[in-house]
Chain A
Amino acid sequence: AQSVTQLGSHVSVSEGALVLLRCNYSSSVPPYLFWYVQYPNQGLQLLLKYTSAATLVKGINGFEAEFKKSETSFHLTKPSAHMSDAAEYFCAVSDGSGTYKYIFGTGTRLKVLA
């Protein structure tokens, strides 16, 4: 069965500092991986996705993630945090074998300090 693990339910960074949100996955088949962001009182919005075309994936709002098969990781980074990045971030995996269910991690709430 597929799963994702997000380390750290809460992360705080200073404005302008590096953002690093961790995601590890478990999958018996080549995974499709996603990062979503949820702003307060809103639904989930796609940040970026890994589709096997490139291991370094660039997304919206300056975020990027690197797929590392050897480490089964797909960590999300942003070089310089902005106050508007404060939100909850979810890593998700989709089964490419045909079921096409999305399995989500437990989420990481990012706080940006002025």
Chain B
Amino acid sequence: DADVTQTPRNRITKTGKRIMLECSQTKGHDRMYWYRQDPGLGLRLIYYSFDVKDINKGEISDGYSVSRQAQAKFSLSLESAIPNQTALYFCATSDTGQGGDTEAFFGQGTRLTVV
């Protein structure tokens, strides 16, 4: 089984609908992240969390919200989806306590299409 699991892997939704993307991890890491990937723009940080009670906005948080239900679970919600939120979304985790040189581990991604 994958260490970082994202569900669903693919989703098509209509404009205005609420949608939730889920992420769970078995690595025991405290830090979790949500990124979106767009062609030519790389990965941009949406939200990040360093523990259950610590949620922080990234560079492109408008239109998104998150919930850290447990150490292992971090969900991303689009309250009212719009077409320019069509993208590939990645969840990632990293370990605490090893300094800035600890790498991030990524899920397989969720491809979201808003029509």
- List the one stretch of B60-68, B78-86, B96-104 in contact with chain A: B96-104
* With contact pairs A42-B108, A43-B108 given, residues A104 and B42 touching in the complex (Cβ less than 8 Å): yes
Interface contact B100-A96, CB-CB below 8 Å = yes
Give the interface size class of chain B.
20 to 34
Interface contact B107-A43, CB-CB below 8 Å = yes
Interface contact A44-B90, CB-CB below 8 Å = yes
Question: Which residues of B lie under 8 Å from residue A51 when comparing CB positions?
Answer: 101
Interface contact B107-A101, CB-CB below 8 Å = no
Interface contact A106-B106, CB-CB below 8 Å = no
The minimal Cβ–Cβ distance linking A36 to chain B, given in whole angstroms, is: 8
Question: Which residues of A lie under 8 Å from residue B101 when comparing CB positions?
Answer: 32, 49-52, 94, 96
B-contact 0/1 string along A91-114, CB 8 Å cutoff: 010111100111111110000000
B-contact 0/1 string along A42-85, CB 8 Å cutoff: 11111001111000000000000000000000000000000000
Count of A-B contacts with CB under 8 A?
Answer: 66
From B33, B41, B50, B108, A102 is in contact (CB under 8 Å) with B33
The minimal Cβ–Cβ distance linking A50 to chain B, given in whole angstroms, is: 8
Bound together, the chains give a CA A49 to CA B42 distance in angstroms of: 18
Question: Which residues of B lie under 8 Å from residue A42 when comparing CB positions?
Answer: 108-109
The minimal Cβ–Cβ distance linking B51 to chain A, given in whole angstroms, is: 12
Question: Which residues of A lie under 8 Å from residue B106 when comparing CB positions?
Answer: 36, 43-45
Instruction: Please give the residue numbers on chain B whose beta carbons come within 8 Å of chain A beta carbons, in ascending order.
Output: 4, 31, 33, 35, 40-45, 48, 50, 58, 90, 92, 94, 99-109
8 new A-B contacts at CB < 8 Å, known A36-B106, A96-B100, A97-B100: A44-B43, A45-B106, A49-B101, A52-B101, A90-B42, A96-B99, A100-B31, A107-B40
Could you show 20 A-B contacts with beta carbons less than 8 Å apart?
Answer: A32-B100, A34-B103, A34-B104, A44-B43, A44-B90, A44-B92, A44-B104, A44-B106, A45-B106, A49-B101, A90-B42, A92-B104, A94-B101, A94-B102, A96-B101, A97-B100, A100-B31, A101-B33, A104-B35, A104-B44
